[in-house]
Amino acid sequence: MTTQYKKVVLAYSGGLDTSIILKWLQEQYRCEVVTFTADIGQGEEVEPARAKAQAMGIKEIYVEDLTEEFVRDFVYPMLRANTIYEGEYLLGTSIARPLIAKRLVEIARETGADAVAHGATGKGNDQVRFELGAYALNPGIKVIAPWRIWDLTSREKLMQYAEQHGIPIEAKRKGAASPYSMDANLLHISYEGGELEDPWFEPDPTMWRWTVAPKQAPDKAETLELEFSKGDVIAINGESMTPAKVLRALNTIGGRHGIGRADIVENRYVGMKSRGCYETPGGTILHKAHRAMESLTLDRELAHLKDDLMPRYASLIYNGYWWSPERKAMQTLIDETQHHVNGVVRLKLYKGNISITGRRSETDSLFDTSIATFEEDAGAYNQKDAEGFIRLLALRLRIHGKRK
């Protein structure tokens, strides 16, 4: 190794892979390692990571609850754009990476570290997301990606390395765990690998962890009212909540009604196709409700402009460009459109389905009953005006028709 580092900040989950990386960094670079473990709502205790890091001789350990920041500053801004990648993916993994990259860089600055490290593989999108974020926030930062460097290229080699270096191999890693590679946060849980690598294979019903099968959901529908302020949900059924509490509550409610399952073959940024399964119950509800709120309060051309921009915005997030100038510029436009997205949406959940049953806005509705009514409108709309309007619209079509 020609490059030497005195101190490296590692994104550390406490699991086998990142524990091996921790030891590998110490052995390979003879450096001090700082561990950073983020709680972004993955549903597992993160404090055990502290004890594991201490047992491996780590002196500077960061274990942080970032759930509110995650939803407030990353998930909510993304949802204001009605963001979906390739028509189906609500970007649950993608949107978490810029926050982790941000804290890695901040901790490196706080501790005087000269490099950061992550456990993403050389085949996936996460390596791109982590590193583009890190370089955008600190152009001079050094990034170590062990999976692109070491020769531990199989599960067997990893297990041998762990045994040789006294790294505990938990029982669940020996066969009791899920056969899938999973990633969870407050927005979603994903499943990849194993039998899912065959896109024809139907997932085992026991794979899903957050949602019940729609046929097993309650036989009675559940009605919710979501209150919006400037495009963000601030209350459920009249109860005010913080962003993270909103998402956590909707995950629970949506999960018991079988909301938010997806089975997708997506195009990774590195060039390959990948099959993944996702559970995003709360995010699915928020997405559906937000579009309903905008349908009442957003100008037609503004709404259509947002729809035109959304696929580009989704690709920027998926591909790791959250901190790019173009994403920030688009966010400014998106947020500008949300000033009047205020009101309440009523929806009904039933066996995997979401039905919008009502929407209202006391101050910002653009729905004018006097104009839209099928009854007598007292002159609010002159139907004769439509004749000239249509003739002008048809002018180019008539000229084109004559040519034929």
Of the CA atoms within 13 Å of residue 341, those in its CB half-sphere come to 27
Task: Say yes or no: 35 and 105 in one domain.
Answer: yes
Q: Edge-to-edge, what's the strand order for the sheet holding 115-117?
A: 61-65, 32-39, 7-11, 115-117, 142-144
Task: Say yes or no: 20 and 157 in one domain.
Answer: yes
Task: Say yes or no: 27 and 173 in one domain.
Answer: yes
pLDDT tens digit sequence for 49-75: 999 999 999 999 999 999 999 999 999
Task: Say yes or no: 150 and 233 in one domain.
Answer: no
Split into its structural domains, the chain has a count of 2
Tell which residue, 344, 371, 370, 369, has the closest CA to residue 358.
344
Whether 346 and 288 have beta carbons less than 8 Å apart is answered as: no
pLDDT tens digit sequence for 194-212: 999 999 999 999 999 999 9
Looking at the domain assignment, is residue 326 inside a domain?
A: no
Task: Say yes or no: 43 and 92 in one domain.
Answer: yes
The mean pLDDT of the chain is 95
Instruction: Please give the residue range of the domain that contains residue 341.
Output: 183-298+337-360
Q: Find the CATH number of the domain harbouring 146.
A: 3.40.50.620
Looking at the domain assignment, is residue 167 inside a domain?
A: yes
Catalytic residue, chosen from 50, 72, 73, 181, is 181
Looking at the domain assignment, is residue 246 inside a domain?
A: yes
Residue 335 annotated in active site: no
Residue 126 annotated in active site: yes
The predicted structure's pLDDT at residue 174: 44
Task: Say yes or no: 294 and 276 in one domain.
Answer: yes
pLDDT tens digit sequence for 236-291: 999 999 999 999 999 999 999 999 999 999 999 999 999 999 999 999 999 999 99
Place of tokens 């000229």: 399
Domain-ending residue, one of 177, 212, 243: 177
Average pLDDT over residues 31-35: 97
Domain-ending residue, one of 124, 148, 177: 177
Looking at the domain assignment, is residue 63 inside a domain?
A: yes
Looking at the domain assignment, is residue 371 inside a domain?
A: no
Residue 17 annotated in active site: yes
Looking at the domain assignment, is residue 52 inside a domain?
A: yes
The predicted structure's pLDDT at residue 350: 98
Catalytic residue, chosen from 17, 183, 204, 377, is 17
Residue 97 annotated in active site: yes
Whether 258 and 352 have beta carbons less than 8 Å apart is answered as: yes
Pairwise CA distance, residues 397 & 391, whole Å:
10
* DSSP per residue, 264-284: EEEE-TTS-EEEEEEE-HHHH
Question: 347: which strand partners?
Answer: 224, 356
Looking at the domain assignment, is residue 193 inside a domain?
A: yes
Catalytic residue, chosen from 39, 80, 126, 261, is 126
Domain-ending residue, one of 152, 177, 202: 177
Task: Say yes or no: 210 and 287 in one domain.
Answer: yes
Of the pLDDT bands very low, low, confident and very high (cuts 50, 70, 90), residue 19 is: very high
Pairwise CA distance, residues 310 & 316, whole Å:
10
Task: Say yes or no: 164 and 238 in one domain.
Answer: no
Residue 173 has pLDDT above 70, yes or no: no
Task: Say yes or no: 219 and 354 in one domain.
Answer: yes
Task: Say yes or no: 160 and 214 in one domain.
Answer: no
Catalytic residue, chosen from 13, 39, 80, 97, is 97
Task: Say yes or no: 35 and 160 in one domain.
Answer: yes
Q: Find the CATH number of the domain harbouring 187.
A: 3.90.1260.10
Residue 363 has pLDDT above 80, yes or no: yes
User: Where are the strands (E) in 76-117, listed by range?
Assistant: 115-117
What lies within 8 Å, CB to CB, of 35 at 6+ separation is 9, 10, 12, 22, 49, 53, 58, 60, 61, 62
* DSSP per residue, 226-273: EEEETTEEEEETTEE--HHHHHHHHHHHHHHTT--EEEEEEE-TTS-E
Task: Say yes or no: 41 and 141 in one domain.
Answer: yes
Percent of the chain with pLDDT over 70: 97
Looking at the domain assignment, is residue 368 inside a domain?
A: no
Of the pLDDT bands very low, low, confident and very high (cuts 50, 70, 90), residue 171 is: very low
Kindly provide the b/e burial profile for residues 128-137, where b requires at least 16 CB atoms within 10 angstroms of the residue's own CB.
Answer: bbbbbbbebb
